[in-house]
Amino acid sequence: MRQGAHWYTFVAVLQSWTLYQPRRRKRQLILILGFCCGLSACAYRPMPEILAHRQSDWGWLPPPIEEPLVEPEKESAPVASPPIASLETHRFRIAKDEGVLGSLGVIELQRGDVLPDIARHFGLGYDEIAAANPELDPWLPDSNSRALIPAQFVLPRAPRRGLVINLAAMRLFYFPAKGNGTEVVTYPIGIGREGRATPTGAMRIVRKARNPTWYPTKNIRNEHLRRGDPLPAAVPPGPDNPLGKYALYLSRQMYLVHGTNKPYSVGLRASNGCIRLYPEDVSKLYPQIPLNEPVYIVNQPYLIGQRGGVVYLQAYRVPEELNEKSLTKTLRADLKKWEQDQSQPLDWDKIERILKESRGIPLPISAGTSPVDVVIATAQPIVRPAKWFGQPEPAPKGAGSWYVFATETASETTALRLAAMLNHQGPPIPARTVQKGERYQVIAGPFADAKAAKAAVRRLKADLELEGRILPPEAIRQQSHPPKSAANP
């Protein structure tokens, strides 16, 4: 079993960080992972009124609500979506006897592109796009290369009603009641990290909240305190609230489906067990979900579906809490039984390759269908948008003259990668690289004043154990080279 396999892609992004740093930096790698994934967010201490909803044992269907709940007032218009083509909507019509949605796309990359921006634009999570493009550095892909857009999905084995969440795929499927199981909307999610896995089972929505207050648990507050970042007993709405602007409370106490102030943690195992959505996705989902809506959470890394009489297999990396050997054995037995029952042969060489690579791409496995490389090579070309939705904006001119020294490395690539990652955190830390002799510094800023710069230093220390130091305006003027943008080196 591949222990912690879901971290491998993100660790690879940071591997050069450890190669060029002394041994004491090893611990910082773990802290950087936590920072970049939003380690602190999500789990909450229930409010008193929520405690009244006591847990009961579930069958396949959720139990009825024990007391009436009041539907919140009608929401304002949701956040605008990016300009989208049909491939980007992730809203599908599907026949009841079929289970494969969407199609594969491909897009040409340009200088300054990063895969997390592309993933967010097309409604994908970090792990989805990184696994589909293992040859690309997610934060510094080669310009003029091509990125596969895996906007194709196999539905998990679960009722086609309400919210269906597949943890292994890190994806949510919503079946509106009016669609009667033939209409589905799908969004990427972030889920509980290793050791704090999101629970599975049949649940329901018991409460909704716009601009929710976060009540961190005692364990989370103690964790923050150890990192030098004390939390209050209640975090009010605002940019520092990890729940974002919308929250759906599950009947399983302590767990929510919510937005996030760290959008680039979507597609990672980063939370304390809750389920995160991009801000633009949760704003569209929230008004559609009624109270008592059923929620089915499953953990299925191997998915089989049919479309047009062709059988597809979609394989994700097996989460650490599951037994890969047992799952693979069961899958092979199910496929052999299908062959016998349907009298239709399958391509077993292709099946074994799909399981070995586990790229999360649905591929046809019926005998006689196109080889894997041909299917990927013929993905639908996508016209490049003028701007990626949600892409961080560079600091405007006149934003300030105060900077913070974050770290120094012998590798320009390492510095540019770290700067790009800092630019994509939430709340973002604007960062650039500065060449100093034969070494490269990562400089955060600009900040409006010394107070804002000090806050950035505290954040670097609490989240990354980096000993940042303030660079006042006169120090920057003495630099031999001006700051260089991570997005435009």
**Annotated domain spans of the chain:** 1-36+392-489, 39-386
Alpha-carbon gap, residue 254 to 271, rounded angstroms: 12
Of these ranges, 7-11, 33-37, 336-340, the one predicted with the greatest mean pLDDT is 336-340
* Alpha-carbon 461 to chain mean position: 24
Which amino acid makes up residue 265? S
What are the phi and psi torsion angles at 246 (to 5°)? -140, 140
Find the distance separating the first CA and the last CA of the chain, reported in whole Å: 40
Residue 19 scores a pLDDT above 70: no
Cite the beta strand spans of 321-438 per DSSP E.
Answer: 363-364, 380-381, 402-409, 431-436
**In the 8-state DSSP scheme, what is residue 141?**
P
Asked if 278 and 187 count as a contact pair (C-beta separation under 8 A), the reply is yes
Which amino acid makes up residue 57? D
Q: Which of 132-136, 311-315, 324-328, 341-345 has the lowest mean pLDDT?
A: 341-345
pLDDT tens for 395-439 read 776 778 899 999 999 999 999 998 988 888 777 788 988 898 999
Look up residue 286 and give its two tokens.
């929230």
42: annotated active-site residue: no
37: annotated active-site residue: no
CATH topology assigned to domain 39-386: L,D-transpeptidase catalytic domain-like (2.40.440)
Query: If pLDDT is split at 50, 70 and 90, which confidence band does 228 have?
Result: confident
Residue 417 CB burial class (10 angstroms; 0-12, 13-18, ≥19): buried
Handedness of CA 393, 396, 399, 400 (dihedral sign): positive
The CATH label, of 2.60.40.10, 3.30.70.890, 3.30.420.40, 3.30.70.1070, for the domain at 1-36+392-489 is 3.30.70.1070
More confident residue, 260 or 229: 260
Q: What is the mean pLDDT of residues 17-22?
A: 39
In sequence order, the β-bridge partners of residue 444 are: 404, 431
Choice among 42, 121, 274, 424 that is catalytic: 274
Nearest one of 260, 279, 282, 281 to 271, comparing CA atoms: 260
Alpha-carbon gap, residue 193 to 222, rounded angstroms: 18
Handedness of CA 124, 125, 128, 132 (dihedral sign): positive
Choice among 6, 53, 121, 258 that is catalytic: 258
pLDDT tens for 234-246 read 999 998 899 999 9
Q: What is the mean pLDDT of residues 68-81?
A: 40
pLDDT tens for 362-406 read 999 999 999 999 999 999 999 888 889 888 887 776 778 899 999
In sequence order, the β-bridge partners of residue 258 are: 247, 276
Which pLDDT belongs to residue 462?
76
Which pLDDT belongs to residue 330?
97
Q: Which of 27-41, 145-159, 474-488 has the lowest mean pLDDT?
A: 27-41
> H-helix or E-strand containing 184?
strand 183-188
Neighbours of 415 (CB within 10 A): 30
Which pLDDT belongs to residue 43?
58
Alpha-carbon gap, residue 318 to 302, rounded angstroms: 8
pTM of the model: 0.82
Residue 354 scores a pLDDT above 90: yes
Whether the upstream peptide bond of residue 232 has omega within 30° of 0, thus cis, is no
Alpha-carbon gap, residue 296 to 158, rounded angstroms: 7
Alpha-carbon gap, residue 57 to 304, rounded angstroms: 29
Look up residue 318 and give its two tokens.
């097996």
Look up residue 450 and give its two tokens.
């010394």
Which pLDDT belongs to residue 390?
86
Query: If pLDDT is split at 50, 70 and 90, which confidence band does 249 have?
Result: very high
More confident residue, 30 or 302: 302
Nearest one of 329, 336, 330, 287 to 311, comparing CA atoms: 336
More confident residue, 76 or 406: 406
Token pair 């979506």 in the structure block, residue: 81
Whether the upstream peptide bond of residue 427 has omega within 30° of 0, thus cis, is yes
Asked if 40 and 224 count as a contact pair (C-beta separation under 8 A), the reply is yes
Alpha-carbon gap, residue 489 to 480, rounded angstroms: 16
Residue 46 CB burial class (10 angstroms; 0-12, 13-18, ≥19): middle
> H-helix or E-strand containing 375?
helix 372-377
In sequence order, the β-bridge partners of residue 235 are: 214
Q: What is the mean pLDDT of residues 9-14?
A: 39
Q: Which of 257-261, 302-306, 434-438 has the lowest mean pLDDT?
A: 434-438
Which pLDDT belongs to residue 34?
46
More confident residue, 221 or 303: 303
**Helix, strand, or coil here: 270?**
strand
Asked if 239 and 261 count as a contact pair (C-beta separation under 8 A), the reply is yes
DSSP letter string, 104-120? -EEEE--TT--HHHHHH
pLDDT tens for 79-134 read 443 333 444 567 899 999 999 999 999 999 998 899 999 999 999 999 999 999 99
Which pLDDT belongs to residue 35?
44
Taking every pair of Cα atoms in the chain, the longest distance, rounded to a whole number of angstroms, is 78
